[in-house]
Structures are given as structure tokens and as C-alpha cells.
């Protein structure tokens, strides 16, 4: 019998959609990150994130023709922005009761894409978030 996919362990595509929706609600309310989305059509953005994450977690193929690097290039996303997003994501997965092993694997997938999202990487010197290797704590 095969092991369940990461997507299945996280609760399926509906759970990923819930994560994307809740994450963007937090990001929009965040003083530093919210302004990055000023000219963004949020329903489409949430759906794109959910589709991308669903695919990354082992779901069916989605239209991921636009690379993460190209999609984020104009937004000047910094390491601090990425770390703040990651911190929100860690908290959200815990609050939603995600399986800790599945959440850690999911966070590893997110961390692996840091270089594709961040415009000017300055990762050195930022401490990692507890339980999330590759995701760093934003400086105080």
C-alpha cells in the first residue's frame, strides 16, 4: 500500500484552499506585507496560490506556466517579507491543527522556493524559525 501524498496528509485541496485564504487574510492585515498587494486582484491571487501549493503537495497539474520568480519580480519581496509570511504560515498550520510532520514537509517546500520569491536575498544572519529549517525568523 502506498503512502498518502503530502496533499492527502494536509487534508486535500480544500484544506490548501483554506490555508491560502487564511494566509492572505493575515498578509493583507500585516503592516509590512499588506502594501505589497495594493494592486492585486486577491480572489485570483488566492486561487493561484492554492493551485500552486496543491500541485507542489502532489495534487494534479495546474497552470503553473508563470514561474514564481517572474510572478514576484516586480514586487521587490525581501527576505524580511518572506520570513514574515513564513511566520504567519507556521502559526496558521498550527492553529488549523495540521499534522506536525506534514506541516514540516510543507514548510520545507515553501522554504525551498525562497530564492524564487525574494528579490534581494540577504538570508545570512537571520535565525531559523523553530521547527522550520530554511524559514527564518524576521528580525525584531
Q: How far apart, in whole angstroms, are the C-alpha atoms of residue 31 and residue 103? A: 26
Q: pLDDT at position 113, please?
A: 83
Q: How far apart, in whole angstroms, are the C-alpha atoms of residue 98 and residue 41? A: 28
pLDDT in tens, 78-124: 889 899 999 999 999 999 999 999 999 999 988 888 888 887 544 44
Q: pLDDT at position 138, please?
A: 53
Task: Pick the closest to residue 56 from 112, 128, 4 (CA basis).
Answer: 112
**Nine-digit cell at 16?**
490548501
pLDDT in tens, 3-46: 899 999 999 999 999 999 999 999 999 999 999 888 889 999 89
Quote the percentage of the chain above a pLDDT of 70.
Answer: 79
Task: Pick the closest to residue 116 from 43, 66, 42 (CA basis).
Answer: 66
Q: What is the mean pLDDT of the chain?
A: 81
Q: Are 134 and 114 in contact (CB under 8 A)?
A: yes
Query: Could you tell me the domains of the chain?
Result: 11-136 (1.10.490.10)
Cβ within 8 Å of residue 57, ≥6 positions away: 5, 6, 7, 10, 16, 106, 109
Q: Where are the beta strands (DSSP E) in 25-73?
A: none
Cα end-to-end distance, the chain, whole Å:
47
Amino acid at each position: 500500500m502506498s503512502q498518502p501524498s503530502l496533499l492527502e496528509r494536509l487534508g486535500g485541496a480544500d484544506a490548501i484552499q483554506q490555508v491560502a485564504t487564511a494566509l492572505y487574510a493575515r498578509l493583507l492585515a500585516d503592516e509590512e506585507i499588506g502594501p505589497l498587494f495594493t494592486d492585486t486582484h486577491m480572489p485570483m491571487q488566492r486561487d493561484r496560490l492554492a493551485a500552486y501549493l496543491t500541485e507542489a503537495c502532489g495534487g494534479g497539474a495546474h497552470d503553473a506556466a508563470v514561474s514564481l520568480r517572474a510572478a514576484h519580480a516586480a514586487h521587490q519581496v525581501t527576505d524580511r517579507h518572506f520570513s514574515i509570511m513564513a511566520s504567519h504560515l507556521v502559526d496558521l498550520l498550527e492553529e488549523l491543527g495540521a499534522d506536525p510532520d506534514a506541516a514540516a514537509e510543507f514548510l520545507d517546500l515553501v522554504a525551498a522556493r525562497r530564492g524564487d520569491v525574494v528579490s534581494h536575498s540577504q538570508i545570512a544572519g537571520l535565525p531559523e524559525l523553530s521547527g522550520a529549517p530554511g524559514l527564518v525568523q524576521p528580525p525584531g
